[in-house]
Amino acid sequence: MDYKITDIEKSFDGKIVENLGNNDYVIKINDNEHKLKIISMNSTGIEFILNQKYHKAKYLDQSTNEINIVIDNVPITINRHTHFDEVVFKHSGGAGAGNAQLSLKSQIPGKVVSISVAEGDSVKKGDVICTLESMKMQVSVKAHKDGVVKSIKIKETATVAKGDPIADIE
Protein backbone atom coordinates (compact mmCIF):
# COMPACT_ATOMS: atom_id res chain seq x y z
CA MET A 1 0.00 0.00 0.00
CA ASP A 2 1.14 3.58 -0.60
CA TYR A 3 1.57 5.99 2.28
CA LYS A 4 2.43 9.66 2.20
CA ILE A 5 3.53 12.04 4.94
CA THR A 6 2.63 15.46 3.56
CA ASP A 7 4.50 17.43 6.22
CA ILE A 8 7.82 16.11 5.05
CA GLU A 9 6.75 15.49 1.44
CA LYS A 10 7.70 11.84 1.37
CA SER A 11 5.97 8.77 0.00
CA PHE A 12 6.43 5.24 1.16
CA ASP A 13 5.43 1.85 -0.15
CA GLY A 14 4.74 -0.41 2.79
CA LYS A 15 3.50 -3.91 3.47
CA ILE A 16 3.76 -6.91 5.74
CA VAL A 17 6.07 -9.46 4.15
CA GLU A 18 5.71 -12.26 6.65
CA ASN A 19 4.04 -13.15 9.92
CA LEU A 20 6.68 -15.10 11.84
CA GLY A 21 4.35 -15.93 14.71
CA ASN A 22 4.87 -14.93 18.35
CA ASN A 23 3.90 -11.35 17.36
CA ASP A 24 6.94 -11.05 15.13
CA TYR A 25 6.55 -9.71 11.61
CA VAL A 26 8.74 -8.79 8.69
CA ILE A 27 7.58 -5.58 7.05
CA LYS A 28 8.90 -3.83 3.99
CA ILE A 29 9.09 -0.06 3.64
CA ASN A 30 10.21 0.97 0.16
CA ASP A 31 13.12 -1.38 -0.57
CA ASN A 32 14.07 -2.24 3.00
CA GLU A 33 12.86 -5.08 5.14
CA HIS A 34 12.47 -4.52 8.87
CA LYS A 35 11.78 -6.74 11.85
CA LEU A 36 8.75 -5.69 13.83
CA LYS A 37 7.46 -7.10 17.09
CA ILE A 38 4.07 -6.10 18.44
CA ILE A 39 4.17 -5.69 22.21
CA SER A 40 0.58 -4.59 22.67
CA MET A 41 -2.19 -3.29 20.45
CA ASN A 42 -5.73 -2.02 20.75
CA SER A 43 -8.05 0.27 18.85
CA THR A 44 -6.34 3.41 20.15
CA GLY A 45 -2.74 2.48 19.67
CA ILE A 46 0.13 0.11 19.33
CA GLU A 47 3.42 -0.53 21.08
CA PHE A 48 6.07 -2.26 19.02
CA ILE A 49 9.76 -2.81 18.56
CA LEU A 50 11.02 -1.94 15.07
CA ASN A 51 14.59 -2.98 14.36
CA GLN A 52 15.51 -3.15 18.05
CA LYS A 53 13.89 0.19 18.85
CA TYR A 54 10.76 0.54 20.95
CA HIS A 55 7.96 2.78 19.67
CA LYS A 56 4.58 3.75 21.05
CA ALA A 57 1.94 5.03 18.66
CA LYS A 58 -1.55 6.36 19.30
CA TYR A 59 -4.10 6.20 16.48
CA LEU A 60 -6.22 9.34 16.29
CA ASP A 61 -8.87 10.50 13.80
CA GLN A 62 -8.72 7.57 11.44
CA SER A 63 -10.43 7.49 8.10
CA THR A 64 -9.90 5.15 5.19
CA ASN A 65 -7.45 7.48 3.49
CA GLU A 66 -5.95 9.45 6.35
CA ILE A 67 -4.66 8.50 9.75
CA ASN A 68 -3.30 10.75 12.47
CA ILE A 69 -0.64 9.06 14.54
CA VAL A 70 1.22 10.30 17.56
CA ILE A 71 4.43 8.30 17.50
CA ASP A 72 6.78 8.62 20.47
CA ASN A 73 5.15 11.96 21.27
CA VAL A 74 5.49 13.25 17.67
CA PRO A 75 2.23 13.86 15.79
CA ILE A 76 2.33 12.71 12.16
CA THR A 77 -0.48 12.66 9.58
CA ILE A 78 -0.28 9.86 7.05
CA ASN A 79 -2.26 9.69 3.85
CA ARG A 80 -3.11 6.22 2.68
CA HIS A 81 -3.49 5.67 -1.04
CA THR A 82 -5.68 2.77 -0.31
CA HIS A 83 -8.51 0.81 -1.74
CA PHE A 84 -10.33 0.00 1.44
CA ASP A 85 -13.68 0.90 -0.06
CA GLU A 86 -12.94 -1.40 -2.97
CA VAL A 87 -11.87 -4.18 -0.64
CA VAL A 88 -15.11 -3.84 1.22
CA PHE A 89 -17.04 -3.61 -2.04
CA LYS A 90 -15.47 -6.75 -3.43
CA HIS A 91 -16.11 -8.74 -0.31
CA SER A 92 -19.67 -7.51 -0.04
CA GLY A 93 -20.42 -9.39 -3.19
CA GLY A 94 -19.39 -6.58 -5.53
CA ALA A 95 -17.18 -8.70 -7.69
CA GLY A 96 -17.70 -11.89 -9.65
CA ALA A 97 -20.03 -14.72 -8.84
CA GLY A 98 -21.92 -12.95 -6.09
CA ASN A 99 -23.73 -10.91 -8.72
CA ALA A 100 -26.78 -13.08 -8.65
CA GLN A 101 -27.32 -12.91 -4.94
CA LEU A 102 -30.17 -10.87 -3.60
CA SER A 103 -28.81 -9.74 -0.28
CA LEU A 104 -26.04 -7.17 0.18
CA LYS A 105 -24.15 -8.17 3.29
CA SER A 106 -21.78 -6.22 5.51
CA GLN A 107 -18.26 -7.55 5.42
CA ILE A 108 -17.23 -5.63 8.51
CA PRO A 109 -18.82 -5.06 11.86
CA GLY A 110 -19.61 -1.43 12.49
CA LYS A 111 -22.02 1.28 13.39
CA VAL A 112 -24.38 2.62 10.73
CA VAL A 113 -23.46 6.26 10.24
CA SER A 114 -25.78 7.04 7.33
CA ILE A 115 -28.03 5.35 4.81
CA SER A 116 -27.87 6.78 1.30
CA VAL A 117 -30.85 5.09 -0.35
CA ALA A 118 -34.54 4.48 0.36
CA GLU A 119 -36.60 1.42 -0.37
CA GLY A 120 -37.75 1.45 -3.97
CA ASP A 121 -34.72 3.41 -5.21
CA SER A 122 -33.01 2.19 -8.32
CA VAL A 123 -29.28 1.68 -7.81
CA LYS A 124 -26.33 0.82 -9.99
CA LYS A 125 -23.55 -1.54 -9.04
CA GLY A 126 -21.02 0.50 -7.01
CA ASP A 127 -23.52 3.07 -5.70
CA VAL A 128 -23.09 3.80 -2.00
CA ILE A 129 -25.87 2.14 -0.01
CA CYS A 130 -24.71 3.11 3.47
CA THR A 131 -21.70 4.22 5.47
CA LEU A 132 -20.42 2.25 8.42
CA GLU A 133 -18.00 3.26 11.10
CA SER A 134 -15.57 0.59 12.16
CA MET A 135 -12.34 1.01 14.08
CA LYS A 136 -13.07 4.73 14.00
CA MET A 137 -12.92 4.68 10.20
CA GLN A 138 -15.80 5.46 7.90
CA VAL A 139 -16.31 2.88 5.20
CA SER A 140 -18.84 2.94 2.36
CA VAL A 141 -20.84 -0.17 1.55
CA LYS A 142 -21.67 -0.20 -2.16
CA ALA A 143 -24.28 -2.01 -4.24
CA HIS A 144 -23.01 -5.33 -5.52
CA LYS A 145 -25.31 -5.24 -8.59
CA ASP A 146 -27.75 -3.06 -10.49
CA GLY A 147 -31.32 -3.24 -9.31
CA VAL A 148 -34.06 -1.86 -7.10
CA VAL A 149 -33.69 -1.61 -3.32
CA LYS A 150 -36.37 -3.99 -2.15
CA SER A 151 -35.80 -3.63 1.55
CA ILE A 152 -33.32 -1.98 3.87
CA LYS A 153 -32.30 -4.15 6.79
CA ILE A 154 -30.46 -1.60 8.92
CA LYS A 155 -31.15 1.56 10.87
CA GLU A 156 -28.98 4.59 11.47
CA THR A 157 -26.86 4.43 14.67
CA ALA A 158 -27.53 0.69 14.91
CA THR A 159 -24.65 -1.75 15.01
CA VAL A 160 -24.22 -4.45 12.39
CA ALA A 161 -22.15 -7.59 12.70
CA LYS A 162 -19.99 -9.00 9.95
CA GLY A 163 -22.28 -10.89 7.52
CA ASP A 164 -25.44 -9.05 8.56
CA PRO A 165 -27.68 -8.16 5.62
CA ILE A 166 -27.64 -4.49 4.67
CA ALA A 167 -30.27 -4.45 1.97
CA ASP A 168 -31.98 -6.67 -0.58
CA ILE A 169 -31.43 -5.55 -4.15
CA GLU A 170 -33.46 -7.18 -6.89
Partner 1 sequence: MIEKVLIANRGEIALRVIRTCKALGIKTVAVYSDEDYNSMHVKQASEAYHIGEAAPSKSYLNQEKILEVMMASGTDAVHPGYGFLSENDDFARLCEKNKIIFIGPKADSMNLCGDKMKCKDAMLKAKVPTVPGSPGLVTDADDAEKIANEIGYPVMLKSVYGGGGRGIRIVNNDKELREGYESVTGESIAAVGKSAILVEKFLEKTRHIEYQFARDTHGNVVHIFERECSIQRRNQKLIEQTPSPIVDEETRSRVGELVRNAATAVDYTNLGTAEFLRADNGEFYFIEINARLQVEHPITEFVSGLDLVKLQLDIANGEPIPFKQSDLKMNGYAIECRINAEDTFLDFAPSTGPVPDVTIPSGPGVRCDTYLYPGCTVSPFYDSLMAKLVTWGQTFEESRTRMLAALNDFYIQGVETSIPLYKTILNSEEYKNGELSTDFLKRFDMIDRLTTDLKKEKEEKSEAAIAAAIIHSEYFKSRVQSNAANNSNWKYNLD
- Check: CB of residue 112 under 8 Å from CB of residue 137: no
Quote the least distance from Cβ 167 to partner 1, whole Å: 18
What is the closest distance, in whole angstroms, from the C-beta atom of residue 156 to partner 1 in the complex? 20
Compare residues 48 and 142 and give the one whose CB is closer to partner 1: 48
Q: How far is the CB of 46 from partner 1 (least distance, A)?
A: 6
Q: Which is nearer to partner 1, 142 or 147 (CB)?
A: 142
When the beta carbons of 54 and 122 are compared against partner 1, the nearer one is 54
Residues that bind partner 1 (CB under 8 A): 1, 3, 5, 7-8, 10, 12, 14-16, 19, 23, 25, 27, 29, 34, 36-43, 46-50, 52-59, 62, 67, 69-74, 76, 78, 80, 82, 84, 87-88, 91, 107-109, 134-135, 137, 162
Minimum gap (Å) between residue 152 Cβ and partner 1: 22
